[in-house]
Structure 1
Amino acid sequence: MIDQINELITQNLGPQGGLMIVGLLGVLLILITLPILLQKQEDPLEKLKKQQRAQVSEDGQAAKLRAGSNKKSKLEKYSTFLEPQDAEEFSAVKLKLLQAGYRSKNAVQYYHFSQFALGIVGLIIGGILVILKTNQAGDEGLTTQAMAMWGVGPGAAGYMFPKYWVTRRVDTRKEAIEQGFPDSLDMMLVCVEAGQSLDQSIIRVARELQAGFPDLAWEYELVAHEMKAGKAKEQVLRDMSERCGVQDITSFVTVLIQSQQFGTSIADALRVYASEMRDKRVMRAEEKANKLPTKMTLATMMLTVPPLLVILIGPSIYNISQNLGGV
């Protein structure tokens, strides 16, 4: 019986068929057992607190809040697996997601879950590809290197894709903030010189930038709300510089903090810094324009030189070949 099954597997899947079936069964068992192993037991003290809150709350709004808290507990059931246990690593991942524009409270969990899920999906796709390639190879079968490449490659690509996506989002968001920052300084300077306070000018600038530069407008809006809530202005500005991750905004925050500490005019500081940011934007555009010829050199050589050689040398080569053929 076992010999017949082994022969059937070898005929359909090739010499490595048994190994592939064992690997797929292992992945299936891992997928089945992971939810059981990662299920987080509810703390009895937390359960007692929930019961007490349920008894106290009687109106519909409290019931709605309880539903939200239950949803939160379901989402955080696998937090020990989906979140880094090291506080420094957790802060670094959260800051990177904030710089990418993902501001949800559970963004870190979603990020690691996407890595895990895409990695598992990639391994399944890799197993299917290995089976197909083995059938195409016939009796020779696949080499160990080819099997590892086709089997593990899609899984590694799926695992690394969220990290690549977040990195690209961070770069795109930083570029958008850098483009809109000089204009925001000009508008803020106009508002301050018109007699508005710094808080009012930030709110006005956030409203005006909403259509053209939504990322920068959101940062200004968050700064205004935090100042209204009573948070220290210096800490609010430093948090903004960390969320943006742009050197221009970090320097701007330093200028505002120093202006506030030394009692100098904010309008004068904004005027000088806005002028510097305009010059820096022009210099950045000139830098990109100067890099363009260098980047076009390789493409120009590849698209121009071969046709030119064919036009110049082609007739001579053709005549030489005809003469040699006639001889």
Structure 2
Amino acid sequence: MFDNLTAMITERLGPAGPLMLVAGLALLLILSTVPLLLRQKPDPMDKLAKSGRARIDAETKAILRDTRRNAKLNKYAQYLEPKSAEELGQMRLKLLQAGYRTPDSVRLYYLAQMVLGLGLLAAGTAYYVMFKDGPDATMQTKLMYIVGPGAVGYLAPKYWITKRVEERKKQIEEGFPDALDMILVCVEAGQSLDQSIVRVSKELRASYPALADEFEIISHEMRAGKDKSNVLNDMGERCGVQDVSSFVTVLNQAANFGTSIADALRIYASEMRDKRVMRAEEKANKLPTKMTLTTMMLTVPPLLIILVGPSVVSISELGNLAVK
């Protein structure tokens, strides 16, 4: 019976008939769930907030949805957020390291994955049906043109965030020695650490905007009354750079033991300058190795043509004369 049904579908719709039928059923199921999503009941967290309950049990705290965020996205929060608090925290930290600090950043990230994945999957299916479908089409071709774009769309946001994190860490790492020198100058001039951070955040805006953003966040949190050690620890976690984490440790130890912040900054700034010189020397030592392959590809073939070309022409002419 199943073979007869498959043969009938193939006869009417062509070789890709079963695939088109499955895709149509999937689209029908997706469209049928939209009214259910629109009619879903209000979030239980809204009822708890209105009732004014002060004590919320551990099971309710496990609910990750936050109704203070975007109202449109809040309807689909259970589909656009991880189910565990640990996974949510890791994703939020990664987005912070990439420079995305909006309350809806996690939801927008998962929304982008879903929209791009389904959109490119539908586009790939349409392209395959219109242009590539035929009796000679193999399963590998179907997967490449249908599943391939969907996988690319699903993984594209993750790749983008990873690249953003790497670029931002590199920018912070390159600008941190200069920032330390500027903080040291401000502190030795008589300004407090808070005032120095505010001044440095303004001065670094043109050269290193990522590092300037971090210093600006520190200044705002300190003005709001947050504990200085917690503010610095949060900065080290957001940046994800070892130099910044060491700088936070130095400042916390100087505050705990009552030593001079200027002396600690002077020593650590000197170490950062030495480390920057060492990094530059390391890059310079790697340059000849990287240039070897390029030099061989761009220099050896033209040299061979110049040296061997005339001999090849002469040999071919002598061969023609001998034949005549």
Equivalent pair of 2:128/2:145 in contact (CA under 8 Å): yes
Task: Name the CA distance, whole Å, in 1 between partners of 2:118 and 2:302.
Answer: 48
Q: Which residue of 2 aligns with 1:29?
A: 28
Equivalent pair of 1:241/1:250 in contact (CA under 8 Å): yes
Q: Which residue of 2 aligns with 1:87?
A: 85
**CA displacement 1:104-140 (0-9 Å, x = unmatched):** 01100000000010000110121023214434xx4x3
Q: What TM-score comes out, normalization by structure 1 length? A: 0.84
Q: Choose from 235, 243, 247 the match for 1:248.
A: 243
Following TM superposition, by how much is the alpha carbon of 1:224 offset from its aligned partner in structure 2, in angstroms?
A: 1.6
Alignment of 1:1-327 (within 5 A): 7=11, 9-10=13-14, 15-16=15-16, 18-36=17-35, 38=37, 40-43=40-43, 46-47=46-47, 72-135=70-133, 138=134, 140-325=135-320, 326-327=322-323
Task: Name the CA distance, whole Å, in 2 between partners of 1:193 and 1:97.
Answer: 36
- 1:88 is aligned with what amino acid? E
- 2:13 is aligned with what amino acid? I
Following TM superposition, by how much is the alpha carbon of 1:86 offset from its aligned partner in structure 2, in angstroms?
A: 1.2
- 1:205 is aligned with what amino acid? V
Following TM superposition, by how much is the alpha carbon of 1:241 offset from its aligned partner in structure 2, in angstroms?
A: 0.3
Equivalent pair of 2:69/2:103 in contact (CA under 8 Å): no
Q: Percent identity?
A: 57
**CA displacement 1:28-65 (0-9 Å, x = unmatched):** 2243134345555214783586599xxxxxxxxxxxxx
Q: For the structure 1 residues 8 and 322, does the alpha-carbon distance in structure 2 shift closer, same or farther, using more than 3 Å as the test?
A: farther
Q: What TM-score comes out, normalization by structure 2 length? A: 0.85
Q: For the structure 1 residues 148 and 203, does the alpha-carbon distance in structure 2 shift closer, same or farther, using more than 3 Å as the test?
A: same
Equivalent pair of 1:184/1:205 in contact (CA under 8 Å): yes
Following TM superposition, by how much is the alpha carbon of 1:311 offset from its aligned partner in structure 2, in angstroms?
A: 2.1
Task: Name the CA distance, whole Å, in 2 between partners of 1:262 and 1:132.
Answer: 73
Query: Structure 1 regions of 5+ residues with no counterpart?
Result: 53-68
Alignment: residue pair count: 302
Following TM superposition, by how much is the alpha carbon of 1:100 offset from its aligned partner in structure 2, in angstroms?
A: 0.3
Quote the RMSD (CA, aligned, Å).
2.5
Following TM superposition, by how much is the alpha carbon of 1:272 offset from its aligned partner in structure 2, in angstroms?
A: 0.8
Task: Name the CA distance, whole Å, in 2 between partners of 1:37 and 1:324.
Answer: 84
DSSP-derived class of the 2:259 partner: coil
DSSP-derived class of the 1:312 partner: helix
More helix by share: 1
Query: Highest relative contact order (Cα 8 Å, sep 6+), 1 or 2?
Result: 1
Following TM superposition, by how much is the alpha carbon of 1:179 offset from its aligned partner in structure 2, in angstroms?
A: 1.9
Q: For the structure 1 residues 34 and 296, does the alpha-carbon distance in structure 2 shift closer, same or farther, using more than 3 Å as the test?
A: farther
Q: For the structure 1 residues 148 and 6, does the alpha-carbon distance in structure 2 shift closer, same or farther, using more than 3 Å as the test?
A: closer
Following TM superposition, by how much is the alpha carbon of 1:185 offset from its aligned partner in structure 2, in angstroms?
A: 0.9
Query: Structure 2 regions of 5+ residues with no counterpart?
Result: 53-66
Task: Name the CA distance, whole Å, in 2 between partners of 1:218 and 1:30.
Answer: 45
